[in-house]
Structure 1
C-alpha cells in the first residue's frame, strides 16, 4: 500500500537531502490540496533512513511522456505485494513553476489504486469480504486479468474521489462492473471485432450484472444492495439520469484515460483507440470531463481527445464503430 510521497529536488545521488528540500517544492496550499485528494498518503514526507521499499519516478521523464509505464506498474505491483511502500519523485527542481504539484497530482492519480481509500460505507467487515472475494476472482499472472483488476480498483478509487459519500452499492458496482470479462476476454480481447459496439457493450453489462449478483450473494450485503449493484452494472455502458449510474460512468471513463489508455493504444492500435476515446468522452458529465486536463495521457491520446472535441464543435458525427 502506498503510504508516503517523498519529493526530491534532484536525485538521491546528487547530494540533495529529500527531507530538507521536499517541503519547499510545494506550497502549503498545494500540499493541502494533494492531501485532501489522496487521504492516507503523507505528502512531502521526509525521506526515511536506509533503503526503505520505494518506487522512484523521474519527473522530467514523466513530463515528457518518456517514462516506461509498464515497468513502473510492474515495480509497484511487486512493492504492494510486500506491504507498505513510498513513492519518490525525483528531479522536481527541473520543472517549471507549479510543475511539482502538477506532477505529484498526475503520478498519484496513476498510483491511486495502491492507496485503496474507503469511506464510512465501505469501512465494514462486509465490504472487506467483498474486496477479498473480488481479489480471488482474478489470476493476476494473466496480463489481461491483471489489467482488469487494476482498472476495477482504480474505478473504485475514482468514484470515492468524485463522491466521498458514495454508497456501498455504487462502490461494489465499481469493483464488479467489468466482471463479465473474466469469461469473455481473460486471454485475448474481442471487442474490436464487434459489428455493433454498443450492442456488444450492452450484452457485456447485462451478463456482468448477473455474475456480480451471484458473486456478492452470501457476503453479508443486504439483498436490496445486491439488487442495486446488479442494476448499476447492467446499465453502466449507457449514460443516464440516475446519479449513481452517472457517477459510475464518470469513474469508469476517467480510469480509462488515467490508467488504461496507453495500454489500450498499444494493444488495439490507433483506429480502435480513436473510436474508444470518442465513446468514452460521451460517457462523461461536464464536471468529470473538466478533470481531463489534469490527467497525464500519452500525446497520441491527448491528440485524439482534442480531435474529438474539435469534431464535436464542428458538428461531425461520432465514429461509426461506436454509434449506438
Structure 2
C-alpha cells in the first residue's frame, strides 16, 4: 500500500502551504506527507520528478517500477526529488493520481469486512504475473478509487460495480466497440454477483450491483450509472490511454477519446488537470476539449 510521500525539503512545520500542498492532502488524505527521515521501516522508492516533468515523458515508463515496489510491501513510501515549490506539488498530485490504486482509499461503506472479502476475491481472479492481466486489475481498482474521489460518500453497490464495470475500457487493444457493449456487461455482472454472494452480500446489494454493471436504467439509478461512466472515463485517461494509443490503430484514437470525453460534464474537467498524459494523448484531448468546452482545463 502507498502510505507516505517523502519530501527532502520538508520543514519542521510541514510543506509550505502556499505552494499547494493542502490540495494534495485534501485529494489523498490517507497518504502522509513527511520528511525523508519518516520513511524508516518503509520500502522507500526514490522518484526523479525532473524525469516525470520532461515534455516527452510517458507515465507508462514508471509503472512497472512503482507497482513492483507496491506489491512487495504493505508500507510503500515515495521519495520525490528533482523539483521544488509548485512544480513538485503538481507532480505529486499527478503521481498519486496515476498510482491511486495502491492507496486503497475507503469510506464508511467500503471499510467493512464484507468489502475486504470482496476485494480479496476480486484480486484472486487476476494472475498478476501476467502483464495484461495485471493492467486489467489495476484499471479496475483505479476505477473504484475514482468513484470515491468523485463522490466521497458513495455507498457500497457503485463501489463494487466499479470493480467490474469494464465495458468502456478495452484493455488489450481495439476490440470492436459493439463487441464490448454486447459481451462485457453481462460477464462482469455475473462475476460481480458471484463474488458478492461468496463475500456474504445480501440479495438487494447483489441486485443493485447487477443493474449498475449492466447499466440497468431503473428509476433512481441514473446518478450512479453516471458516476460509473465518469469514473471509467477518468480511469481511461489516467491509466489506460497511453497503452491504447500505442496498441490501437491511429484512426481509433480520436473516436475513443471522444467517447470517454462524452462521459464528462463541465464540472468534471478539472480532474483532467490532475493527470500526466502522454504527449499524443494530451494533443488529441486538447483538440477535442477546445472543440466542445470553452475553458482550457488542460493549461
TM-score by shorter chain over 0.5: yes
Structure 1 partner of 2:3: 3
Shift in alpha-carbon separation, 1:214–1:310, aligned structure 2, 3 A: same
Tell me if structure 1 keeps the 8 A contact 2:165–2:185: yes
Tell me if structure 1 keeps the 8 A contact 2:266–2:293: no
User: How much has 1:254 moved relative to structure 2?
Assistant: 0.5
Structure 2 partner of 1:88: 79
User: Which of the numbers 147, 159, 171 marks the counterpart of 1:171?
Assistant: 159
Three-state SS of the structure 2 residue aligned to 1:235 is: coil
Provide runs of 4+ in structure 1 moved above 6 Å: none
Distance 1:226 1:269 in 2: 38
Three-state SS of the structure 1 residue aligned to 2:214 is: helix
Which structure would you say has the larger Rg? Answer: 1
User: Which of the numbers 233, 244, 251 marks the counterpart of 1:271?
Assistant: 251
Distance 1:49 1:100 in 2: 19
Distance 2:41 2:54 in 1: 28
User: How much has 1:198 moved relative to structure 2?
Assistant: 4.2
Tell me if structure 2 keeps the 8 A contact 1:22–1:46: no
Say whether 1:204 aligns with 2:173: no
Tell me if structure 2 keeps the 8 A contact 1:154–1:255: yes
Q: How many residues align?
A: 291
Distance 2:43 2:27 in 1: 23
Structure 1 partner of 2:89: 101
User: Which of the numbers 193, 196, 199 marks the counterpart of 1:216?
Assistant: 196
Tell me if structure 1 keeps the 8 A contact 2:57–2:278: no
Structure 2: 5+ residue runs without aligned partners? 295-299
Structure 2 partner of 1:289: 269
Three-state SS of the structure 1 residue aligned to 2:264 is: coil
User: Which of the numbers 250, 253, 257 marks the counterpart of 2:233?
Assistant: 253
Structure 1 vs Structure 2 CA RMSD = 2.9
Say whether 1:226 aligns with 2:206: yes
Trace 1:12-23 onto structure 2 (pairs within 5 A): 18-20=9-11, 23=14
Shift in alpha-carbon separation, 1:39–1:49, aligned structure 2, 3 A: closer
Structure 1 partner of 2:103: 115
Trace 1:64-75 onto structure 2 (pairs within 5 A): 64-67=54-57, 69-75=59-65
Shift in alpha-carbon separation, 1:309–1:19, aligned structure 2, 3 A: closer
Range 282-291 or range 219-228, more displaced: 282-291
Structure 1: 5+ residue runs without aligned partners? 9-17, 315-324
Distance 1:102 1:153 in 2: 23
User: Which of the numbers 38, 41, 44 marks the counterpart of 1:54?
Assistant: 44
TM-score normalised per structure 2: 0.86
User: Which of the numbers 32, 47, 50 marks the counterpart of 1:42?
Assistant: 32
Structure 2 partner of 1:139: 127
Say whether 1:78 aligns with 2:58: no
Tell me if structure 2 keeps the 8 A contact 1:63–1:103: yes
Which string of whole-angstrom CA distances, capped at 9 and with x for unpartnered residues, describes residues 115-136 of structure 1? 1011100111111110000000
Distance 1:303 1:71 in 2: 19
Tell me if structure 1 keeps the 8 A contact 2:127–2:134: yes
TM-score normalised per structure 1: 0.80
Distance 1:242 1:218 in 2: 28
Distance 2:162 2:286 in 1: 27
Structure 1 partner of 2:17: 27
User: How much has 1:55 moved relative to structure 2?
Assistant: 2.1
Higher relative contact order at CA 8 Å, sep ≥6: structure 1 or structure 2? 2
Shift in alpha-carbon separation, 1:59–1:66, aligned structure 2, 3 A: farther
Shift in alpha-carbon separation, 1:67–1:56, aligned structure 2, 3 A: farther
Tell me if structure 2 keeps the 8 A contact 1:258–1:295: yes
